[in-house]
Amino acid sequence: MTSVVTNRTALTFYGGVNEIGGNKILLQDHDTRVFFDFGMSFSARKQFYSPPFLSPKNEKSLQELGILPIINGVYNFDPTPPEADAFFVSHGHLDHAGYLSFIKREIPVFCGETTEIILRTLSDTRRADLEFNVADIKFNVFRTGTKIQVDNIVVEPLHVDHSIPGAYGFLIYTSNGTIVYTGDFRDHGHKPEMTDEFVEKAQDSEPVAVVTEATNMTGATVSNEVEVEAKLDKIASQVDGIMLAEFGYSDIDRLNTFYRIARKHQRCLAVSVRQAYLLDALRSDVHLQVPALDDDGIMVFRKSKKRYDKWEKQLIERLNVENKTFDVFDVSKQQCRVILAVSFYDFEELINLQPAAGSCYVLSASEPFNEEMEIDYERLINWLSHYGLPQYHVHVSGHMMPLQLKAVLEKMRAEEVFPIHTENAQLFKKFMGKVDSQVQIVEKGREYLL
């Protein structure tokens, strides 16, 4: 190890600072160096690039523009020996895991079992590119409560509820006390008890520092997944034509909600081939509840394409045997029997679909920014207007709301709180007021000694 040996514990934030996502947190304890998350910075990337027309050519471009931080001894394009002992990944969203693509393959990566499945399927279903290529990473998987020792420190992952299955927070036992990292979490999903358990254990560990997400400082709402389901139920009970539903590809809780609503109203939920591929892979995870592809309430929608990738072709062939796929013309003939999962990028299909009068479009994802998609609103509205489709926005965030977050942090009573994954750290600090903890306004790349 060539890094400077100190007797103290330090945190350095290389991403997630003044931005939602892109978390890259280095924890050093004596000579142990461990990263928590290594995500893609969507906002930094968006300032310079607009794929597919303007994409980064190589890592040099990303480093030049400050999108990929300069850190010695962690990247696969850097010939020097490794200077990190491990990477821990909180969950499978790309703003937390995407830039694992660049790391040296000999440094161990730890993640939840579900996260491995999600990242593997993502890797199978999109063409490997510079910024997402994890196919040759060997993941070391954990489940909640596993204690993992990495030299000086012990890491305990604990499940939390978030808008993707298999999300974790971490308790990190260092030589200067326990550090809590929340990852992305919420207490208004379908499994609030997971988050409660995490908070309780974090509280019991009497942490010296908490690194917390503080995403929802300006867009807070009072709602939960149960309410989302009730609203979707109401829409489904009245809609005459097709119900188009846009939701996050890996938001399995929301997919399950749409599935239940479809069943209740004698419709089927038609998912994309890519979603079907993920569902099929997640079936191997016994801790998750996902509908099977041969379920009567599930159909798979084949987009009109000239050429299918190998994985698509194989899955479609398998599903065709059971009559489980349909194309836009099949859907068009039975609009009142279908909830069709769509993405804005599928809207070209509407031309052959010809939505019947009384159809509607339900946006069940955040706006205008989501960890997985950026929607071009003006164009979206033009398409909806052209086909007479009213837009309903039925959604609840994957992130903790301000008052709940404050209550959680007051319980934990850490000496220091580091808000990240937010554009509103100052607002958060003022909002927290004079609690027992000191709220640090994090600067990118600065080392914080504990």
Q: Which residues bind Zn ion (CB under 5 A)?
A: 21, 93, 95, 184
Give bridge partners of residue 110 from the DSSP assignment: 88, 140
Minimum separation from the CB atom of position 131 to Zn ion (A) = 16
Minimum separation from the CB atom of position 14 to Zn ion (A) = 15
Residue number with CB closer to Zn ion (21 or 165)? 21
Between CA 364 and CA 227 the distance in angstroms is 13
Beta strands 338-341 and 24-29, pairing class: unpaired
Residue number with CB closer to Zn ion (276 or 400)? 400
Minimum separation from the CB atom of position 294 to Zn ion (A) = 30
Residue number with CB closer to Zn ion (267 or 395)? 395
Tell me how far the alpha carbon of residue 103 is from its chain's centroid. 20
Question: CB of 97 within 8 A of CB of 121?
Answer: no
192 burial level (CB within 10 Å; 0-12, 13-18, 19+): middle
User: How many distinct helices (H) and strands (E) make up the chain?
Assistant: 14, 21
172 burial level (CB within 10 Å; 0-12, 13-18, 19+): buried
Minimum separation from the CB atom of position 2 to Zn ion (A) = 32
Between CA 354 and CA 278 the distance in angstroms is 28
Between CA 177 and CA 208 the distance in angstroms is 6
Minimum separation from the CB atom of position 162 to Zn ion (A) = 6
Strands of the 243-246 sheet, one edge to the other: 325-326, 298-301, 268-272, 338-341, 243-246, 360-363, 391-393
Alpha helices per DSSP H over 322-369: 328-333, 350-353
Tokens for 214?
Answer: 């503080």
Minimum separation from the CB atom of position 235 to Zn ion (A) = 26
Q: How many CB atoms lie within 10 A of CB 51?
A: 11
Minimum separation from the CB atom of position 163 to Zn ion (A) = 6
Minimum separation from the CB atom of position 182 to Zn ion (A) = 11
Minimum separation from the CB atom of position 113 to Zn ion (A) = 17
Residue number with CB closer to Zn ion (164 or 298)? 164
Beta strands 325-326 and 243-246, pairing class: unpaired
Minimum separation from the CB atom of position 183 to Zn ion (A) = 7
Between CA 346 and CA 359 the distance in angstroms is 17
Between CA 430 and CA 441 the distance in angstroms is 11
Cβ within 8 Å of residue 388, ≥6 positions away: 355, 357, 359
Residue number with CB closer to Zn ion (189 or 297)? 189
Distance (Å) of CA 178 to CA 90, 120, 144: 17, 32, 17
Residue number with CB closer to Zn ion (15 or 355)? 15
